[in-house]
Structure 1
């Protein structure tokens, strides 16, 4: 009995009454045509005609449910009133034919059950109230109410309150049953279709791709800056009392490196705040800024270029190439100290080649627990462009090699 009147049952009852209210315009429109068609000027004079008009109204409602926006409105009402888990319902308008057909079925079921329960809600309580009050108010016995014959007999007034309470409980039971039926049908008719699931999976994949790209940008930019700043600060500390000019240059390099990195960090975090989609371009330097990177890297770099890659490589390839070089310099600083680095960047035909070498240290480098994300991130950058990148020991040198497709070199940047 308690479940017939608890909060969930009441909310579902309200949802049914909402369906009845939505069915009224269709019912009134159908009554305009059903009455004259059956030779009656007013359908409200006959219960049969009213049911006929209601039967005609439901297919009309089903047709209007094919509009895409009907589904999100219905889903919102179900989530708020029917206690259906949100993840079992679809998001957004119905785009496919299957989704529209399911929505039309739901809309018809909601309005059909809602119309019946709403009619019962309007009719049953007044009649049940009259029955409950029948023993106390004698004039009700002679009223024009169409009371059953048994209630007019000797024991009739004593049984009337029981009959009235039974009718109210029956009404609540019908409303609870109809509400439970709608709650069970909602995930089937308003749940995601295969096309909706595919679109959601594509959105999740796009979001994950953007997160990975932003993570790589932060790692390469901030990681390189921290490595360079650490090296410059350590070198300045060692010669603090002997070479003031070197300390001044080191502090200047630290200042410029951190200022530039803060700007890049603000740009990437700005994309996070704006919810940038996967199609948006990430900000960042290109090979045009390579000279500044090498000058402030904290290590001597012998750089040779072939084919003018800064001017002719496509912008995306140029940006990823810059980050790959930056990650290579970070590894050289982290593991090789101040050992000189050789860098060759060549644009040959439709391929951009990057080769970076630095001597291996006498002592094996300390590896962070679980490994770093720099080299895998560099490989991901190359793979996403359709290229290849690898790094490893070759004799007594550490060599980084990356080959990136540069089709359309010299085109729009």
Structure 2
């Protein structure tokens, strides 16, 4: 280990970390000294022999290890090690130790940190004054008399400063070596366990799913409104001089669409702000099939709707997703085929809700928008999250584009369903 490794900034920080470990060990050393002193009949805590003090040290180590099993020990140890050991942040686990394996590792770290720290702290307190005295002995005869050092010849006394400096260098080397041992052990003992990694992965998956859900809500509500408004505004511009009545109706539809979309946008932003109760499937979260008539009447395309079954029996989560699927289907028609007639069938069965939308294929292939294609992907995600299925594509023999989705009603009731749908 080079000079820079012994006296560098990192070595100094690790030395401070070891002294912190020694300070943490003091209560355990004092407790073991109190318990050990009556056995050896020593004269107090600080007047006992060196062997008694090392015995108290040995008895204090198991006490420190037991204390290290406490859950809050790991975050405190991680905070100190992260700032003083010079390791990247991803080397450490987050939060208290919950599992048995995590607590065992945390106890092992606390044992190692306090054990090495107590030794280095003791040496740091005792050795430098002694080394300085050794360095000064050749120059102060009274100091040699006080320390009962024989009158050595001058050549021998000349070696005393070298010996004192060697003691200080040895102390720095021992501290650097102990700090290096702690730095190597930290990722093993304070790093994430498999359970910690699984918890982090699950938390990230939950956050990603929430982000995707909000992105789908924004895409379906705002995207459909913009498509409808764009189509209506273009038609109104073309007929401004020839059909003022149509223009007034188009502007009224644009106003209503914008007003409704602002309400839906507020609902999505409310989810971002956590205004509503989280995890409530029946809480405010957007329109449902009960609001479908308004969507169809102002969707920008003529829709022939056919419904069967009791839509009121559809659970709210399923009803919300069904509304969004129909909304995205209308948006796709507007974007790719224009104001063509659409046939919509919504069938509520005992165990599932089926949605079928068909519209004539456009005369020419639609222009692919940069970054487009998220709508049908969102439909698939909505169906899969409920345990259902969806499919969309051209039916060349019939000359139509068909969107189909099947959503299990059990998903909205909180019941377990088989993977992949029915």
Report if aligned partners of 1:9, 1:176 keep a CA contact under 8 Å in 2.
Answer: yes
Counterparts of 1:107-186 in structure 2, within 5 Å, are 107-143=110-146, 145=147, 147=149, 149=150, 152-186=152-186
Q: What is the root-mean-square deviation in Å for CA atoms of aligned residues? A: 2.4
Counterparts of 1:269-308 in structure 2, within 5 Å, are 269-272=269-272, 274=274, 279=279, 283-308=285-310
Report if aligned partners of 1:43, 1:49 keep a CA contact under 8 Å in 2.
Answer: no
| Unaligned runs of at least 5 residues, structure 1 | none
| Pair 1:215-2:215 in alignment | yes
TM-superposed CA distance for 1:409, in Å, is 8.1
TM-superposed CA distance for 1:400, in Å, is 1.3
Report if aligned partners of 1:16, 1:114 keep a CA contact under 8 Å in 2.
Answer: yes
- The residue number in structure 2 matching 1:22 is 24
Report if aligned partners of 1:206, 1:277 keep a CA contact under 8 Å in 2.
Answer: no
TM-superposed CA distance for 1:280, in Å, is 6.5
TM-superposed CA distance for 1:271, in Å, is 3.4
Show CA shifts across 1:230-258 (max 9, x none): 10111111111122232222222223323
| Pair 1:187-2:187 in alignment | yes
TM-superposed CA distance for 1:198, in Å, is 1.6
Cα separation, 1, equivalents of 2:350 and 2:114: 67
Show CA shifts across 1:324-352 (max 9, x none): 00000001111221112121112111111
Cα separation, 1, equivalents of 2:33 and 2:280: 54
TM-superposed CA distance for 1:276, in Å, is 10
TM-score by length of 1: 0.93
- Distance change >3 Å, CA 196–CA 410, structure 1 → 2: closer
| Unaligned runs of at least 5 residues, structure 2 | 415-422
- The residue number in structure 2 matching 1:322 is 323
Counterparts of 1:259-408 in structure 2, within 5 Å, are 259-272=259-272, 274=274, 279=279, 283-309=285-311, 311-369=312-370, 371-394=372-395, 395-407=398-410
Cα separation, 1, equivalents of 2:275 and 2:290: 28
Cα separation, 1, equivalents of 2:269 and 2:389: 28
Report if aligned partners of 2:318, 2:411 keep a CA contact under 8 Å in 1.
Answer: no
Cα separation, 1, equivalents of 2:140 and 2:274: 69
Cα separation, 1, equivalents of 2:60 and 2:160: 36
Counterparts of 1:191-210 in structure 2, within 5 Å, are 191-210=191-210
Report if aligned partners of 1:209, 1:278 keep a CA contact under 8 Å in 2.
Answer: no
Higher mean C-alpha displacement, 333-342 vs 115-124: 333-342
The 3-state SS of whatever aligns with 2:339 is coil
Report if aligned partners of 2:360, 2:400 keep a CA contact under 8 Å in 1.
Answer: yes
Cα separation, 2, equivalents of 1:194 and 1:276: 34
- Distance change >3 Å, CA 23–CA 275, structure 1 → 2: farther
Report if aligned partners of 2:81, 2:186 keep a CA contact under 8 Å in 1.
Answer: yes
| Pair 1:12-2:26 in alignment | no
- The residue number in structure 2 matching 1:258 is 258
TM-score by length of 2: 0.91
Show CA shifts across 1:18-73 (max 9, x none): 00000001100110011112333425320000000011111001111111110111
Cα separation, 2, equivalents of 1:295 and 1:11: 70
- Distance change >3 Å, CA 137–CA 245, structure 1 → 2: farther
Cα separation, 2, equivalents of 1:214 and 1:174: 56
Q: How many residue pairs align between the two structures?
A: 408
Cα separation, 1, equivalents of 2:387 and 2:187: 42
The 3-state SS of whatever aligns with 1:205 is helix
- Distance change >3 Å, CA 275–CA 290, structure 1 → 2: closer
Cα separation, 1, equivalents of 2:267 and 2:302: 29
| Pair 1:66-2:57 in alignment | no
